[in-house]
Chains A and B, each alone.
Chain A
């Protein structure tokens, strides 16, 4: 117990030690920001994977590590869509996940936001046209924010989320 506390003290603070995002993300429209304002300064996210390569999941997980620490901006990850303010959807929506995506959207209480994360979710990426893919996400459910990149870096995801929250212009 003391040794791990000692180690944490020795390590010091690492939050914020990451390079600034380089890839510019499209601005969040005023209408969407207005819609997001109802959640105030907290945002609870349910992440839904509809066929990504799991790169986007790794970066979402990285967002919660001590370096990015999205919790400090009131961004939480929920285990159930019923607890979520926003859905973060990754992947090109496979034929096998189409119904699950619609179900999860219906199960999320209103008002809600949908964020398409990564190139696959935004426009199917390399999987466009495949017999097993029915996407992109906006074909099935209305999308409010698109975060592009393959996969987008955690700093870029965080940047987009801060814009959505109105913490950043």
Chain B
């Protein structure tokens, strides 16, 4: 655990006047650094034993026309959950910034993404193939530049994505996707195998890139919630909450206590139905379809409860900037607790049966191990992280909504296999149910929304985090002119965890890949944006 002040003064001592400026933006220290000094400072924060910072997010913003510069931000989460931001400016026609990927693995996809969306090149990056822009996008299309029109009609060019190859006797490649088995989102997986074990997997995504971050810039700060709900449909409440919180903190709004409690309640409902569904789906991929049927039934029960309470099975249309669009009556709250108690008993019975099934355990144990070191290097958190001994949970580390008033345990497992990921989910189901009961007991009457009075200064920004059911959701919102959004960076936890899955499958056999993939259950839509 490091104190924020000690961390910043320690860095200043080490680097002297290389740290050009230190400012506090809504209690987050922001260090401005010249681009040439940046890799050294970033590496220090990443590896100094007293800091052990994880790169949680790296993103760019086009600050033209206000400043003739692009700015690149690096968000580090220090040991214990404190945040620290580094920023560097690329002035004028400068399009090069030094890559930190050679020393900090977690930056790998972020720097490729920045290159595709802004045309800024990470010099020294070991892999500068296109990520978001597939090969048929014409040269020079960088959609997040301010002079790129949001409704641009793109031409098509020829091009080929060069997969990495392993060559040798008996080695062959198995391409899967983008349209692959079952009812699932599109993604491409390229396996290199010799016999059955996987020697290499390359994930190629961004088939679903819809231009969400650009579309945000068409909206006013107050209007972004419906779009945030469509970033990843299964996490509609988590994303809209995170967006709402970012704007609320930008406008300095205090959210009433009742709304904060209700937000926790809905977030836990979302976690519940997703986790229960995932447990069933993992069992199903091990050919245990009776468990899927039971989990599907319980999941459906919660989704019907959502629908009855709010008119949306996905809890859409609830969040708004300043609180919630509706309140729950006493009767409704009692119904929630009644239903949740029934699901608790039902699910506890089922999970006992699941864990007593030896043939299932045999499939789950030691399958798809994500080592703690690999997870840490990639900045993995959330359910997947907690199954690999990464003890991070935003609800506990940076409490939002009403979590500072609620008690819960954060499950932690060391093995990093499919079974550990399932156990984390099963434990969290129990915790969520308990949290909902606590919310019910603690709630007091009051308003659920506050009116918006202030306006944001152009160029001002805020960052917010929510522990969605997959893991940390991050939103960076920068205000523009006339109450518009200048830049909105969206990060679903899936974006961070996808590269790590490439390591978790090594040595496993291809028929186990669906099982491993299901135990991660990452969002394709939230990654592709």
B208 near A94 (CB under 8 angstroms)? yes
A129 near B294 (CB under 8 angstroms)? no
Instruction: Say how far B151's CB is from chain A's closest CB, in angstroms.
Output: 4
CA distance A60 to B182 in the complex (A): 10
Q: Is B331 an interface residue (CB 8 A)?
A: no
Query: How many chain B residues touch the partner (CB < 8 A)?
Result: 59
Q: Is B525 an interface residue (CB 8 A)?
A: yes
A130 near B185 (CB under 8 angstroms)? no
Encoded as 1 (CB less than 8 Å from any A CB) or 0, chain B from 289 to 308 comes to 01101101101100110010
Encoded as 1 (CB less than 8 Å from any A CB) or 0, chain B from 122 to 164 comes to 0000000000001011000101000011111110000000000
Chain A residues with CB below 8 A from B148, complex form: 131
Encoded as 1 (CB less than 8 Å from any A CB) or 0, chain B from 253 to 269 comes to 00000000000000000
Q: Is A111 an interface residue (CB 8 A)?
A: no
A91 near B208 (CB under 8 angstroms)? yes
A57 near B184 (CB under 8 angstroms)? yes
CA distance A19 to B231 in the complex (A): 28
Instruction: Say how far A158's CB is from chain B's closest CB, in angstroms.
Output: 13
- Known contacts: A47-B183, A96-B207, A100-B179. The answer to whether A65 contacts B300 by CB under 8 A is yes
Q: Is B98 an interface residue (CB 8 A)?
A: no
CA distance A162 to B528 in the complex (A): 34
Closest to A125 in B: B230
Chain B: interface secondary structure?
Answer: loop
Q: Is A164 an interface residue (CB 8 A)?
A: no
Q: Is B363 an interface residue (CB 8 A)?
A: no
Encoded as 1 (CB less than 8 Å from any A CB) or 0, chain B from 338 to 353 comes to 0000000000011001
Q: Is A161 an interface residue (CB 8 A)?
A: no
Instruction: Say how far B310's CB is from chain A's closest CB, in angstroms.
Output: 13
Closest to A68 in B: B300
A19 near B179 (CB under 8 angstroms)? no
Encoded as 1 (CB less than 8 Å from any B CB) or 0, chain A from 61 to 100 comes to 1101111100000000101010000000001101111011
- Known contacts: A19-B304, A97-B178, A100-B179. The answer to whether A130 contacts B296 by CB under 8 A is no
A130 near B211 (CB under 8 angstroms)? yes
Interface-lining segment among A3-11, A33-41, A137-145? A3-11
Chain B residues with CB below 8 A from A52, complex form: 185, 208, 233, 525
Chain B residues with CB below 8 A from A58, complex form: 233-234, 314
Closest to B303 in A: A62
Q: Give residues of chain B (419-435) contacting chain A, Cβ–Cβ below 8 Å.
A: none
Chain B residues with CB below 8 A from A97, complex form: 178, 186, 207-208
B134 near A66 (CB under 8 angstroms)? no
Q: Is A53 an interface residue (CB 8 A)?
A: yes
B150 near A131 (CB under 8 angstroms)? yes
B209 near A54 (CB under 8 angstroms)? no
Q: Is B313 an interface residue (CB 8 A)?
A: yes
Q: Give residues of chain B (329-371) contacting chain A, Cβ–Cβ below 8 Å.
A: 349-350, 353, 356
A67 near B297 (CB under 8 angstroms)? yes
CA distance A96 to B313 in the complex (A): 29
Encoded as 1 (CB less than 8 Å from any A CB) or 0, chain B from 180 to 214 comes to 01111110000000000000000000111111001
Q: Is A49 an interface residue (CB 8 A)?
A: yes
Instruction: Say how far A139's CB is from chain B's closest CB, in angstroms.
Output: 13
Q: A50-B208, A54-B523, A96-B208 are in contact. List 7 more A-B contacts (CB 8 A).
A: A4-B291, A54-B185, A96-B206, A97-B178, A129-B150, A129-B151, A131-B150
**6 A-B Cβ contacts within 8 A?**
A49-B184, A53-B232, A53-B236, A62-B300, A65-B293, A100-B178
Q: 3 smallest A-B Cβ distances: which pairs?
A: A55-B233, A65-B296, A53-B233
Chain A residues with CB under 8 Å of chain B are: 3-4, 7-8, 11, 14, 18-19, 47-62, 64-68, 77, 79, 81, 91-92, 94-97, 99-100, 104, 125-127, 129-133, 150-151, 153
Chain B residues with CB under 8 Å of chain A are: 134, 136-137, 141, 143, 148-154, 178-179, 181-186, 206-211, 214-215, 226-227, 229-234, 236, 290-291, 293-294, 296-297, 299-300, 303-304, 307, 313-314, 316, 349-350, 353, 356, 523-525, 528
